[in-house]
Amino acid sequence: MNLFFKRLFGKLERTKKYEHREERLLAEYKRYCDVAASEELKEYTQLFRFVSSATFQDKKRTLTNRQYKDTQTYRDERKFKKLDGSIKVRRYYKIKDSDELKEFQTFRHSADYIKLGDKKQWKKDERLRRFKLFEASLAYKNYDRLNNSYIIKEYESLKAKVNTPEFQKEKEWWSDKFRWQKTEDYKQECRFKELQKNPEIDFYLHTNPKKFKSLGDWKVTFEEKFQTESLSSQWQQGYFHRAQSLQNIYTVEGQKQAYTNGQNVVVGNDDYLTINTIQEQVEKGLTWNPAKGFYEKGYLYTSGIINTGATFQQRYGKIEAKVRIVNKADVQHALTLTADGQVPSIYVYGFNGKHITLAMADREEYGDKRVRIERETITGINPKKFFVYTVEWTPNYIQWQVNNIVVKRIDGSTPNKALFLQASSFIGANNAGGSASLVIDWIRCYAHK
């Protein structure tokens, strides 16, 4: 695929912009997931349900809007004060507790009480006349009318009620304009508002999770940024093979360089991995021929090869790497997912000495040893500049991407075994050779959750 016009018209994002956007999206996704799993969000969610409930809203509305005069407490107090200030009620209690009433009540239950019906008798008897006048007085008639009446019963009931500590506490509560601020519910509401202003929760609430759709199904399984001074323990020098005899530093017959034990692999220079192919003579380089086995021969070039066979292998997923080359010599460079024996293999990045090449090699599903090869040549971009190369590998397809542009897709069966990472530079039989370098800034691998 020629990416010249996509680059010219801006459809191919600049690597720095693409990388920044992807890293920012990854950082936001991690932040979003961290908040989603946090105790603070759990608490916020519970409080949100609480303060949004009809029960809470009704209670708050009542406590903030209702005035003391709207309460039953106020109505009871007002009624009591009205009765307590009533002249009739006061007269009732004045007579009720008087010695005069007690004397009259005693007289009323005596045999002489009947004499009050005889005018002649009570007129000539001072004592009878006094009782007769008392019985006819407005004060006694008022007492007689109110005694055991509903009014007195209500008054005494209200008097007992308003003088209790509970009533006074209720009165004090409803008279307080700041009563809502003294409730536990108000404290819960304040905590809710505090969490609502929390930058992490605010970020979570105002972030549409759909923006993470491309990331939501993935988890990082391998990451290498080459920021240490030496190659990390995730990598080993040379080829990886299940057969111990083939786990060695050697060159496959037909190639024109001798692989060294790390001398051509540089880490930490600007936080990059650099594999250098150098023109230098080697008198005895270990070489592998499938028919003959190992033997030694001389070489005019040296280079390096590293792998993760012993520490990391993965079947299916997504692999990303930021890669470039230095010196466009006729030297091949590769970052691959591969198996011991080198087939099957999937090129995350490849350079054949002239062009960037992305490829997949797998054995056909037949009884013979035929190898199926799918290849795409990428032109229109400078291989000496960094680009992010992505491979998405599933049971049904493999898809390659350069920055934000899909450049190749293979549908159908794909390699179905776990593969490991391998990075190398080499001079093939048809390459003229020269000094050149493969430079990798970082590598990330993902698997479906």
Domains recognised in the chain with CATH numbers:
4-61+189-216 (no CATH), 71-182 (no CATH), 221-448 (2.60.120.200)
Q: Tell me the pLDDT band of 243, cut-offs 50, 70 and 90.
A: low
Q: List the structure tokens of 65.
A: 């809007």
59-77 average pLDDT score: 92
Dihedral of the alpha carbons of 200, 203, 206, 209, in degrees to the nearest 10: -100
Q: How confident is the model at residue 435 (pLDDT cuts 50, 70, 90)?
A: very high
Number of H helices, E strands in the chain: 14, 18
pLDDT at 366: 46
SS3 189: helix
Confidence (pLDDT) at 368: 52
The answer on pLDDT for 69 being more than 60 is: yes
Q: How far is CA 217 from CA 211, 330, 448, 449, in A?
A: 12, 40, 5, 6
Checking if the pLDDT of 247 tops 70, the result is no
Contact 21, 29 (CB under 8 A): no
pLDDT for the residue numbered 332 = 96
Q: Which pLDDT tens digit goes with each residue over 359-408?
A: 998 875 544 566 788 899 999 999 999 999 999 999 999 999 999 999 99
Q: Where are the alpha helices (DSSP H) in 85-215?
A: 87-96, 99-108, 119-124, 126-136, 138-146, 150-162, 165-175, 184-196, 199-205
Q: Is 199 exposed, middle or buried (0-12, 13-18, 19+ CB in 10 A)?
A: exposed
Model confidence band, residue 113 (pLDDT cutoffs 50, 70, 90):
confident
Query: Rounded CA gap, 164 and 152, in Å?
Result: 19
With b for 16 or more beta-carbon neighbours within 10 A and e for fewer, the 414-424 pattern comes to bbeeebbbbbb
Mean pLDDT (whole number) for 214-218: 77
Angle between the N-to-C axes of helices 150-162 and 87-96, in degrees from 0 to 180, rounded to the nearest 10: 90
Query: Cα separation of 384 and 436, whole Å?
Result: 11
- Residues 281-310 have pLDDT tens digits of 999 999 989 888 899 999 999 999 999 999
Q: What region does 138 belong to: left with phi over 0, alpha with psi -120 to 50, or beta?
A: alpha
Give first-to-last CA distance, the chain, whole Å: 32
Residues 6+ apart with CB under 8 A from 436: 276, 277, 325, 326, 327, 328, 329, 331, 333, 425
pLDDT of residue 342: 74
Task: For residues 337 and 343, give the distance between their C-alpha atoms in angstroms, rounded to a whole number.
Answer: 10
Beta strands in 166-316 (DSSP E): 218-224, 236-237, 251-252, 257-259, 265-269, 272-289, 293-303, 305-307
pLDDT at 8 over 80: no
248 contacts 296 by C-beta, under 8 angstroms: no
Question: For position 314, what pLDDT does the model report?
Answer: 96
